[in-house]
Structure 1
Amino acid sequence: MGDILFLAHRIPFPPDRGDKIRAHHLLKHLAGFAPVHVGCFWETEKDREAEGDLAQVAASHCLLRRAKPLALAGVEAVLSARPVSLTAFHHRTIAEWVTRTIAERDITTIFVFSGQMGQYIPQDFAGQVIVDLCDVDSVKFEDYAEAGERVWLNRREGRLLRQEEERLAHRADTTLLISENEKAVFQTRLGNAAGARIAAIGNGIDAGFFDPSVVEPHGEIASRPGPHFVFTGQMDYRPNEAAALWTIEHFMPAVHTRYPQAEYHVVGRNPTAALLTIANAPGVTVWGEVPDVRPFLAAADIALTPLTIARGVQNKVLEAMAMELPVLLTEQAATGIAAQDGQDWLVAPADADAMVERFGALWSDRTAHHTMGKAARRFVLEHHSWPAMLAPLDAMVAASAEARDAA
């Protein structure tokens, strides 16, 4: 078969956040089929330093710094009647590299990771196009507007992104979503592209890496009585920030009435000013970026994930489950993972008293707590390995080779 062109909005190395983890495994899987040429952006020095890792996997690559100020992206978006999400990732050099690569290489498949990069698909490209939207981003911005956050801007972004998502579904041979739930949501929003081929490929987990038997718990946390609650993720991502703030402002005061020594640990890069301001609340530690989240998961007693705006599959939940850590989460955070409430995890509304009650019942029965942790890891091993998740991709890529042979 021919070569593959892989376009991603972030360099898939190092795989240290949700979207990069998925892109990382997709890229490595595709590289097992054919030479892959990668166009993507870097944002941090750690990203830029990972160019050597990218070069080991990619047959060729174009890596650019994404440095366009948000204000400039906003002006471009208004003038062009496009979503800010697209103008923020528009760069002429990437567009020129795509054109040149298709002309010089035997590209038969373009794989687009995340809707921001769909703008680089040439209209006259005759090969196969696979677009991985991951989540229905337009719904996320609509949810922001519904919640009263920058209503006009978020409503505009949601409307324009919905149009772009429909355009991509019509353009692509296959459009991927991260779960059956996201797939169903997306299908209900399609107009002219209602007959498009839509498929779901879920997220996996590296259960060999996230294995409590190979990790030492964080010493400082493990030395204190607790119970210890942990929340991991990119902390300047608005849904994560909102969940952490809610926990500090509502859940921790409620839990302290029953467990005065309870502690809450926020672990993840780029904590916002709002989080840092409230970080001195009783029993709260905002750790910021750490070299490895696993010791924090290993030392915690429960992973608390009270997201109220969530799309797709939460890697933070799968990672905690793989570490045999019971997870207490909202229905929104549970979307896309078919675990069983009361057996593999605990689901509760975003209500402090209800969450404290569910935690208390589990915490009072140490055998049940241990059993749930074991069940959580077993669920991940059986249902969320990366090879199992990506197996359907094989047939999609093979379709390109079959079409080429028939031509």
Structure 2
Amino acid sequence: MGKPSGARHCHSRRSRECASDLRHPKHCGGSLACRLRHEDQDCRGAGSWPPRGHDHKRHGRARSHPPRRGPRGQFLSRHGRCHRPPAPPSPRGLGHGGPGPRMGLAPSRPSSPGKSLDVLPPTSGEGMNILVLATRIPFPLEKGDKLRLYHQLRHLAPNHDITLCCLADRPIDEDQTRALSSLVTALHMLPVSGPRRWLRMMGAWLSPLPFQVTWFTDGKAKMALHTLLKEVEPDVVFCQLVRGAEYIKDFHEVPKVLDYMDALSAGMHRRSHMAQGILGPLKRWAMRTEGNRLARYEARVFEYFDRHIIISRNDRLLIPHRDRDTVDIVPNGVDLQAFGPSSSPVEADMPTLLFTGNMAYEPNVDAAEHLVKDILPLVQTRPVRVVLAGAEPKQRVLDLASPEVEVTGWVDDIAAEYHRATLFVAPLRLGTGLQNKVLEAMCSEVPCVLSPHAFSPLGMPSEGHAVVCGDPQSFATAIDQLLSDPSQRHHMAQQAKAQIHKNFSWEGHVAGLEQILKEAAQ
């Protein structure tokens, strides 16, 4: 990666009359552009580049400027933007379709994973024109990054115009279109070719880029996005994850905000220590290599963005950059209405220990094995049931099934699983970031027995809110004690739920993100 090369700035932009514009795929460099909402505006949000009416003979061609820095040391753009006024509120109802693709854990609400939530009403403030880049389509909500972005879009949508650009190696389906159409002004799929991906990966060992950055970065998709950026002229660009940074890091006409989400390099290093089997040494070497590349990239890409956010203070400490303290904390939230105590609780026939997560994700696979193989044999209470709820279970998870262990696979209603659980047990040893599963369990008034890995990102004292354990015997002892003491379980569940309601609403956290985007756009 080279240093930022400076922005190109068009010095004269003729004002354009308001118009609704239905974009065709050819207008965004071959991407599938779905114009989903048309509203009258005082300035055109998706113009051409150079602007129509720009006279090169009169005004001169665009010139290059050296990048200038702001008070945080970030690069500031030198561009004239056409600021849109806030769009008038319009009724944007949501259809409710059937379940989406069976790809993972049910979303953070008791509805079907293929059903989207109602759009929130406008609140206040001046609207922005925001372009969002996602490396995956944020629906269905079976992965943490998709759940996080979906709720961020849902709470930003009432007050801002959002152009959502998603990398995709397959066409968007009807359920995804229906779920996202009410949240965005325009939805663009940037095709990422499978054959080109594998060709890139063949040479990935010769590149300094992390393997996952190489996997997600496609040259044609990058050109299509740059064409779209020049047409849309956003006030600010919001990029989720460093995996997408190569697409926009050299585009300096617009302020950029990066969501690190987790410290991916630290997570990869932790996973490298747990690789086992015949291929264990090779896996450990590959993961260490990827972890080192990610660490260098997380530090290097920091310079190309005006603002940065991350999910927790713990993860911020793991970003390998001298100015990491300037990274803003924007935690995940939980849908407070979707998760809560059951209105009609059902008494379980035996105590139930629940662990949830996408069971194709290695940290969850490791935690499931740790719970069943290392902790459950030490639990004295019998009978007892362990439920592993989450889709795409690897064979290693399926092999854990027994009369005492239920592996559910995909579940349509994850809230129901919390309602029938006696305890939520998360012995996570790998991964980084704030665990949505812990927020959901606490909000559902399920007492939690957690590893330090699962609990510490919450930033709350453990006493009275959860039992934190570091080894199998302490897990088993805590489980036995809580199963024998209903009053302690009830008190702990109430205390934890109060903390979640106070500190982990999506509304509050997205309001912080909205302020960061506004400051970057100024």
TM value normalised by structure 2: 0.70
Task: Please state how far the C-alpha of 1:271 moved relative to its aligned partner.
Answer: 0.3
The CA distance in 2 between the partners of 1:56 and 1:325, in whole Å, is 33
2:261 is aligned with 1:134: yes
Identity %: 27
- Identify the match of residue 321 of structure 2 among 182, 190, 196: 190
2:398 is aligned with 1:276: yes
Partner of 2:12 in structure 1?
none
The CA distance in 2 between the partners of 1:99 and 1:190, in whole Å, is 28
Partner of 1:116 in structure 2?
243
Greater CA drift, 9-18 or 271-280? 9-18
2:422 is aligned with 1:295: no
Task: Please state how far the C-alpha of 1:48 moved relative to its aligned partner.
Answer: 6.3
- Identify the match of residue 490 of structure 2 among 370, 374, 379: 370
The CA distance in 1 between the partners of 2:302 and 2:341, in whole Å, is 41
| 1:68–1:88 CA contact under 8 A, matched in 2 | no
2:215 is aligned with 1:83: no
The CA distance in 2 between the partners of 1:112 and 1:386, in whole Å, is 19
| 2:336–2:501 CA contact under 8 A, matched in 1 | yes
State the one-letter code of the partner of 2:130.
Answer: I
Partner of 1:231 in structure 2?
355
State the one-letter code of the partner of 2:399.
Answer: T
The CA distance in 1 between the partners of 2:386 and 2:366, in whole Å, is 15
| 1:62–1:94 CA contact under 8 A, matched in 2 | no
Partner of 1:6 in structure 2?
132
Task: Give CA deviations for 1:38-88 in whole Å, capped at 9, x if unaligned.
Answer: 111457899763122222212112225667388656324224332111122
Partner of 1:199 in structure 2?
328
- Identify the match of residue 337 of structure 2 among 204, 208, 213: 208
The CA distance in 1 between the partners of 2:473 and 2:262, in whole Å, is 31
- Identify the match of residue 476 of structure 2 among 353, 356, 363: 356
| 1:8–1:112 CA contact under 8 A, matched in 2 | yes
| 1:131–1:168 CA contact under 8 A, matched in 2 | no
Greater CA drift, 33-42 or 317-326? 33-42
Task: Give CA deviations for 1:293-351 in whole Å, capped at 9, x if unaligned.
Answer: 111110010000000113110000000001000010000111210233231111011x2
| 1:40–1:62 CA contact under 8 A, matched in 2 | yes
Partner of 1:265 in structure 2?
387
2:164 is aligned with 1:38: yes
State the one-letter code of the partner of 1:308.
Answer: R
Identify if the C-alpha distance between structure 1 residues 67 and 99 changes in structure 2 by more than 3 Å, giving closer, same or farther.
closer
| 1:14–1:47 CA contact under 8 A, matched in 2 | no
Could you tell me which runs of 5 or more consecutive residues in structure 2 were left unpaired when the two chains were aligned. Answer: 1-82, 84-127
Task: Give CA deviations for 1:250-306 in whole Å, capped at 9, x if unaligned.
Answer: 111111xx22211100000100011112323x4001101111111111001000000
Partner of 1:247 in structure 2?
371
2:182 is aligned with 1:56: yes
The CA distance in 1 between the partners of 2:456 and 2:328, in whole Å, is 17
The CA distance in 1 between the partners of 2:298 and 2:194, in whole Å, is 23
Identify if the C-alpha distance between structure 1 residues 190 and 89 changes in structure 2 by more than 3 Å, giving closer, same or farther.
same
| Other structure's SS at 1:316 match | helix
| 2:256–2:520 CA contact under 8 A, matched in 1 | no
Greater CA drift, 10-19 or 133-142? 10-19
The CA distance in 1 between the partners of 2:297 and 2:505, in whole Å, is 31
Task: Please state how far the C-alpha of 1:183 moved relative to its aligned partner.
Answer: 1.3
Partner of 1:306 in structure 2?
427
| Other structure's SS at 2:440 match | helix
Partner of 2:271 in structure 1?
144
Partner of 1:337 in structure 2?
458
Identify if the C-alpha distance between structure 1 residues 213 and 262 changes in structure 2 by more than 3 Å, giving closer, same or farther.
closer
| Other structure's SS at 2:318 match | helix
The CA distance in 1 between the partners of 2:510 and 2:150, in whole Å, is 12
Could you tell me which runs of 5 or more consecutive residues in structure 1 were left unpaired when the two chains were aligned. Answer: none
Partner of 2:148 in structure 1?
22
| 1:127–1:400 CA contact under 8 A, matched in 2 | no
Identify if the C-alpha distance between structure 1 residues 78 and 48 changes in structure 2 by more than 3 Å, giving closer, same or farther.
farther
| 2:249–2:301 CA contact under 8 A, matched in 1 | no
The CA distance in 1 between the partners of 2:325 and 2:131, in whole Å, is 22
Identify if the C-alpha distance between structure 1 residues 71 and 135 changes in structure 2 by more than 3 Å, giving closer, same or farther.
same
| Other structure's SS at 1:231 match | strand
Task: Please state how far the C-alpha of 1:31 moved relative to its aligned partner.
Answer: 2.7
State the one-letter code of the partner of 2:383.
Answer: Q
| Other structure's SS at 1:328 match | strand
State the one-letter code of the partner of 1:154.
Answer: M
What is the aligned residue count? Answer: 389
| Other structure's SS at 2:309 match | strand
TM value normalised by structure 1: 0.89
- Identify the match of residue 96 of structure 1 among 212, 218, 223: 223
Q: Larger Cα Rg: Structure 1 or Structure 2? A: 2
Partner of 2:287 in structure 1?
154
| 1:334–1:347 CA contact under 8 A, matched in 2 | yes
Task: Give CA deviations for 1:348-382 in whole Å, capped at 9, x if unaligned.
Answer: 11x22211111222222211111111222111111
The CA distance in 1 between the partners of 2:192 and 2:395, in whole Å, is 23
CA RMSD of aligned residues (A): 2.3
Identify if the C-alpha distance between structure 1 residues 39 and 377 changes in structure 2 by more than 3 Å, giving closer, same or farther.
same
The CA distance in 1 between the partners of 2:306 and 2:336, in whole Å, is 32
| 1:322–1:376 CA contact under 8 A, matched in 2 | yes
| 1:37–1:59 CA contact under 8 A, matched in 2 | yes
Identify if the C-alpha distance between structure 1 residues 284 and 43 changes in structure 2 by more than 3 Å, giving closer, same or farther.
farther
State the one-letter code of the partner of 1:265.
Answer: V
